[in-house]
Amino acid sequence: MATLKRIEIKGYRSIKDANLELRELNVLIGANGAGKSNFVSFFKMLNEMMAGRLQEYVGKTGRGQSLLHFGPKVTPQLEAVLEFEEHDKFDTYYMRLFHAANDILLFADETLDYKREGWSGPHNAPWSLGAGHAETRIGEFATQGNQTARAFRRILNDCRVYHFHDTSPEARIRLSCYINDNRWLMPHAGNLAAMLYAYRQRFSMVYDRIVSTMRKILPEFGDFELGPSRLNPNDIILDWRKLGFDYLFGPHQLSDGTIRAMALCTLFLQPEEFLPDVIILDEPELGLHPNALEIVAGLIRAASAKTQVIVATQSQTFLNFFEPVEIVTVECQKGQSRFERLDPVKLKDWLEDYSIGELWQRNVVGGGPLP
């Protein structure tokens, strides 16, 4: 497993200059507009970039000028450094994108660098992938057999963003999906039924843990009713039953919070060998009862022993389930997002009388909801 030890972002949306050391579990807390979502969306851009869709992402998000801090006149380029630790290796990816004609972003620089712990010999210079290209060249070099590019392709592909916000009647999670779409859980959980069916068929212990956890969140939940559609064996849908009843319910009869809880349980209870190296999750608290929040927080903590987790939230209640050292406050000062990890030593006296959530609510720890 590769762990993201440090990330540096310059010139991306509200993030003028951020340099953040990361742990196994990281909880970002801040008010609306502080910059949490921009931090998460940077990883979304990274996901699209690794899929060869950087320019498509730029176009869908308001073109290049909207991704640069206060536009290209103020910030003509954005930079990022991601430092990973993997076994005895330290891998660093660097990119610099500049604003170009037609309001797009092109690579001014893209480099890969790695070194081994304890290596006393000469260190190779960072390996440049060139400049002027519209899409990352990591995949191109990896396909040609370059082992360094292959390693970075795997690492960067394994930083995955999940957002289970869309639970509308037309959301993919509520519709039929392809039954064999079960390699990994999609960012919006649109293939949740296919993933659960695969776990029930091949990883029964994992499936049973998901069901038992759902019963803690929703005591009347009985089980999923999963199988190929008789009308189209390639389709499957998220049907379920209540405990003690034969009546079959469909995904359209699930509350927003319940269907999000199903996605969260599946994400964090999936087989260890399928976990991404880095999970980035935006606002998992949406629609969940406080008791459910405690369960989800426990799932996140347990998963962080096997993989790295970065969570963005603005819930005071959810914050109470984490330790101060795991929390990073985000606040916007003069149009710039600031990130600061809490110091438990400085908060020791405060925490004798208040919870960490109350301290955030009162603006004691920064990044609070009040002006």
Residue 193's nearest CA partner among 235, 242, 247, 164 is 235
Structure tokens at 177: 């999906």
Tell me what pLDDT residue 293 has: 97
Let me know whether 188 and 299 are in one domain: yes
State pLDDT tens for residues 305-345: 999 999 999 999 999 999 999 999 999 999 999 999 999 99
**Phi, psi torsion values for 95, nearest 5 degrees:** -140, 150
> Do the domain assignments include residue 349?
no
Q: Which residues pair with 240 in a beta bridge?
A: 224, 249
The pTM of the full predicted model, rounded to 2 decimals, is 0.95
Q: Give the tens place of pLDDT for each residue, 4-61.
A: 999 999 999 999 999 999 999 999 999 989 999 999 999 999 999 999 999 999 999 8
Q: What residue numbers bound the domain in which 49 lies?
A: 1-22+35-158
Percent above pLDDT 70 for the chain: 98
Q: Do 99 and 190 fall within a single domain?
A: no
Same domain flag for 142 and 116: yes
Tell me the pLDDT band of 351, cut-offs 50, 70 and 90: very high
Let me know whether 130 and 205 are in one domain.
no
Same domain, 124 and 169: no
Q: Does residue 3 sit in the same domain as residue 48?
A: yes
Q: Please count the structural domains in the chain.
A: 2
Whether 256 and 240 map to the same domain: the answer is yes
> Dihedral sign, CA of 243, 244, 247, 248?
positive
C-alpha to C-alpha distance for 364 and 361, rounded to whole angstroms: 8
Residue 46 lies in a domain: yes
Do 73 and 124 lie in one domain? The reply is: yes
Residue 241 in any domain: the answer is yes
Whether residues 182 and 55 fall in one domain:
no
Alpha helices in the chain (DSSP H): 36-50, 54-60, 63-67, 138-143, 147-157, 192-202, 204-217, 256-269, 290-303, 316-319, 344-347, 356-361
* Partners of 97 in the β-ladder: 78, 107
How many Cβ atoms from other residues are within 10 Å of residue 74's Cβ? Answer: 11
* Domain C-terminal end among 158, 180, 200: 158
Query: Quick check: is 139 in a domain?
Result: yes
Supply the CATH number for residue 93's domain.
3.40.50
C-alpha atoms less than 13 angstroms from C-alpha of 232 in its C-beta half-sphere? 9
165 and 265 belong to one structural domain: yes
- Gyration radius from the chain CA atoms: 22
Token pair of 7 as six digits: 């990330």
**Of residues 347, 327, 274, the one with CA closest to residue 25:** 327
The distance in angstroms from the start CA to the end CA of the chain is 40
pLDDT score of 87 more than 60: yes
Query: How far is Cα 343 from Cα 327, in angstroms, rounded to an integer?
Result: 9
Tell me the backbone φ, ψ of residue 10, rounded to 5 degrees.
Answer: -130, 125
